[in-house]
Structure 1
């Protein structure tokens, strides 16, 4: 049975790190140059970004802010898709062959992750795969040398990469990652204005990614009061402001609130007791997303009702707190935990509907059900241990409950006739 709060506090031992400096606020991109000059000595930097960021005018804002600083810059553009091994190897080759003393990652999670990789590979030999979380030592520290300084500037609200100690790319059809406390940003600059040009589909995908970081952090068996409060407030921000951001990209209040929620979620996901977050949600979504050609955040959103439902017998009290935060209806105080979970799942499905996401995986992919179900044995026998699910996910996986879960996800157990 799950521990109650008294047991959690009595047993609590915490040790965590964060980015060295976090700057949040509208219009802060223009201050990048002065911040760097006052905070660190940088002579040359490579800016890791992509073509869409340049077209949106955000890259020009970054380079203009560096005018007069004496910082020489080069641009490294990655392809406009989730990074794969080819992209990761190209980043490593560039890092090993060029001269620079800092990296500025500008973009969504992909550009920031490849910015981290660029900074790491500048000071570490070999290939990216040498440092990945792979068996038999998936959980060991592999990054030996501290990267050159990393400056991370998000242009979407959801991935939280600017706050995290990990980077992700696709290898052999599945997402793999490198994680180390050495990967934390030297400076995370979160300017909500940089998200105003994010298209609706990317807005909803990244927003659901933020919601997943937050809610899965509360599902974690190792959750505790340090992160719980941040999670509940962050969930409310996504719930209230994601539909507004999706429907009107120029809604300043909504965009700013969603950027704040993303920052909160990014902080949560890198905490060692959340670890990624290491629950069934990210374990499966980072598996089937690449296989089914579903964007990461969208895959995470599709998983959310099932993460809560699958673990419902272990997480009732904390999910009830989330429900009350989303809608302070005094009747909810008298609900059983199971009643509260049912209503919370309904609200998550309503959020998916509000941003035009059908909760059934089969309606979000052109790939076959057989490809989806081919993952079951891999998840059961290997992938769950890469995420250390036995330590973090409250409910243990079996062949039967995992097969039933896959069926529910594919068919959309919580799909209504309105979709």
Structure 2
């Protein structure tokens, strides 16, 4: 998602997320496991659903209570206008959550999901509607949230730029392990790992290799990640709390890195990959973040550059700059660029990727610690692409204290 703000805080442009999480079926199995904390008195009820909510849920209403209030019920994998049978699994003072059991009256746009793991694995939310309908739904959600939460009466939300490829686009995946060593994803709102046999979002090279991986569920092993770079170069990353790397052998042409509490240990191949965006090649090390949809990464860079006032007199900040994706293109257009990143491996990559520019500086520190020291730089433009957790309130205050003319927030 790209937002562009003027100094007075008014949103002047917003484009919903390029993120594609593509996901229930017309009739869902009644044996869907409950993955939420149970209500004191679990109930199965029938609801008529009204409005969409963030994260693939749709809102229905319980019958009026003694005060005439109708509590909102959030139902996943359902659509506005549907009549559904649900199981209440969590009830709070102001709202409730339910598990979808059966669609009694489907919406016209409902389609069968492509993936057999849909509704069980927590990776996708919208496979039960066509991609074009997903874009329309997300556009309306963004507009509604800017009105309701942002208090912007008429948010100028622009049409979504669709992903060139809605399937098989992810160049990076993180698996968790079941107790017996099967690779899988976490269930919705749960720590339970659901073993999977197929994922239609993964790059073909990853899909070809991962089913053949045999990973022993060693103590401390948290995640198993795969990332594909240029020329289908593949890297395996094992993330663990155990400081001792495991014995390792591989029959595939890939690199492998162990990411432990004491740093990285190269198990096979090379410690980094090359990933190209808009004709520029980036070094990306194991443990450093890079956009998972490379074609869309290029679209985001192009969009940012088209809407920022950049010239050789501009000082720009790139917060959460990672390996320098946005910095590399900004540096060609500004007089001074300062990046801020705390991941040490990403910082090493940034130094390599921006080596050709002598007007670029890098702060290796958390953004919230670096911002107070950057006021004297008087940046006119700030670009930030924070992690999924977003930006904390105190960090936002420091960001506004910079009094930059334009802030571009990518999420």
Would you call these one fold, judging by a TM-score over 0.5? no
Return the TM-score normalized by structure 1. 0.24
Name the larger-Rg structure. Answer: 2
- Which has more helix, going by share of residues? 1
- Which has more strand, going by share of residues? 2
Which gives a bigger RCO, structure 1 or 2 (Cα 8 Å, sep 6+)? Answer: 1
Return the TM-score normalized by structure 2. 0.25
